[in-house]
Amino acid sequence: MLGFVCFMCPGLFNALNGLGAGGQVNATTSANANAALYATFAFTAFFAGSINNKLGSRLTLLLGSCGYALYIGSYLAMNIHPHASSFVITAGAILGICAGLLWTAQGSLMLSYPTESQKGQFISIFWSIFNLGGVVGAAVSLGINFDSTVIGNATYISFLVLTMIGVTIPFFMVDPKKMIRTDGTKVTTPRYPPWKVEIYGLWVAVRTDPLVLLLFPMFFASNWFYTWQFNDYNGTLFNIRARSLNNLVYWIAQIFGSIFIGMLLDRKNISRRIRAFSGWAVLFAMVWVIHIWAYFYQRGYTRENLPLQLDIHDRGYTPRIWLYIFCGLLDAIWQVTAYWLMGAMSNDPVKLAHFTGLYKSIQSAGAAGVWRADAVKLPFMNIFLSTWVLLVSGLVFALPMIHLRVKEHTDVEDETLTRMDDSGKIALPEKASP
């Protein structure tokens, strides 16, 4: 059910964004809306772990999902009223607040429900269902717009109806306190201490596990590449029909990528540390192959010298759609690996809520910057090269963290983030006895 919340809400949002400029002719409005979205997302996500622990995951998911319906509705409004760009940008800012809530609740549940041996499997199952939203949305768009040159109202209306269905799903989810893991253990539910303890918990999460800082460059890069992929590649080189088909195969590739990396990271006949290094190696190889390949396309056009947009029947289209497929694979493998690494650091949902909140906050800060860079029309090559450099840097910084922090099993002292005595005094967790 958690997967289907994200299927209907961020999944369809991704399908819309993946069309390039949200399917709109004016890419600047879309880029500014995304910049506003990720700026507020970055701020909200920093505190979203505290909000999730205070309100509970179901209510946090419900509040978070509402923003997606508003955002998709704003594109429908702009399709009807071309001068409604300020509404789209405002809706983007509101969605950023909601997205921070939704993704932090999602991360806390997804990482705390499975046993240690199932974390890769649970993440890949979630990621597959979530990306089915992108697949379905892209298929709907392709079917409706196959013979069109612009995105019609029917596309936005169908997306809006599906998203509203997603908003209702949290009402039917079981209280996490009643959940039992497959090994018979209960899911640890967070206590609800005063707000000052929860805010302080953000600092405590980093203080008690400072090696998470080495994942911050990986977090920062994890949404940076969307701008070049969606706007500067798919939205620039292809017509609506080709963009819709590219969008479809991109999200299908995400499903295969998430299944592949989930199986690799959960292989029981391989040690946990070797699996971690193997996932890192797969990412490192893919980043270089994809970006060397993409460089030969990117050097052939600029903002001032745009090529004729390709259709699906044109010569040269096939290798370019294959590049987009590999971009989708890379995205899924990157995101699943990042979540898996956080899950390898702890099983405590309170701590994981803070980690995922920090993940989304840093991720969104990067995305806000690169979407704004696209809005002010920074050269395509600059955005492309920055994407390449940040991905490589994220992996280089993550390598020592994997070496020092990923163990065969999570230690007992990693299970509890903070305690509080009857007077409300904050206490750090005690080390377990030998």
Buried b (16+ CB within 10 A) or exposed e, 128-149: bbbbbbbbbbbbbbbebbeeee
> Which one is predicted more confidently, 128 or 371?
371
CA end-to-end distance (rounded Å), the chain: 40
pLDDT at res. 192: 39
Q: Which positions ≥6 away from 314 have C-beta within 8 Å? A: none
φ/ψ of residue 180, rounded to 5: -120, 130
Examine residue 225 and state whether it is found in any structural domain, yes or no. Answer: yes
CB neighbours (10 Å) of residue 427? 9
Examine residue 235 and state whether it is found in any structural domain, yes or no. Answer: yes
pLDDT in tens, 164-215: 998 999 888 887 777 787 778 777 654 434 456 656 766 777 777 777 888 8
H/E element holding 420?
strand 419-420
Examine residue 433 and state whether it is found in any structural domain, yes or no. Answer: no
CA–CA gap between residue 243 and residue 312 (Å, rounded): 9
Examine residue 389 and state whether it is found in any structural domain, yes or no. Answer: yes
Examine residue 199 and state whether it is found in any structural domain, yes or no. Answer: yes
State the SS3 of 273-340: HHHHHHHHHHHHHHHHHHHHHHHHHHCCCCCCCCCCCECCCCCCHHHHHHHHHHHHHHHHHHHHHHHH
Average pLDDT value for the chain:
81
Rg, Å, the chain Cα set: 21
The amino acid occupying position 386 is: S
Identity of the highest mean pLDDT range in 109-113, 216-220, 359-363, 406-410: 216-220
- Cβ(406)–Cβ(393) under 8 Å? no
The closest alpha carbon to 9, from 159, 219, 229, 202, belongs to 159
CA–CA gap between residue 123 and residue 85 (Å, rounded): 36
The pTM assigned to this predicted structure is 0.77
Examine residue 334 and state whether it is found in any structural domain, yes or no. Answer: yes
- Cβ(241)–Cβ(27) under 8 Å? no
| Residue 419 β-bridge partners | 427
Q: How many domains does the structure of the chain reveal?
A: 1
The amino acid occupying position 328 is: G
pLDDT in tens, 204-244: 777 777 778 888 999 999 989 998 998 889 888 998 888 88
Which CATH number covers residue 373? 1.20.1250.20
CA–CA gap between residue 11 and residue 17 (Å, rounded): 10
Q: Is residue 412 scored above 80 in pLDDT?
A: no
Owner of token pair 């199952």: 125
CA–CA gap between residue 283 and residue 329 (Å, rounded): 10
CB neighbours (10 Å) of residue 397? 17
The closest alpha carbon to 90, from 113, 67, 112, belongs to 67
Examine residue 43 and state whether it is found in any structural domain, yes or no. Answer: yes
Examine residue 16 and state whether it is found in any structural domain, yes or no. Answer: yes
Please give the residue range of the domain that contains residue 301.
Answer: 2-427
For 406, the 3-state DSSP assignment is: coil
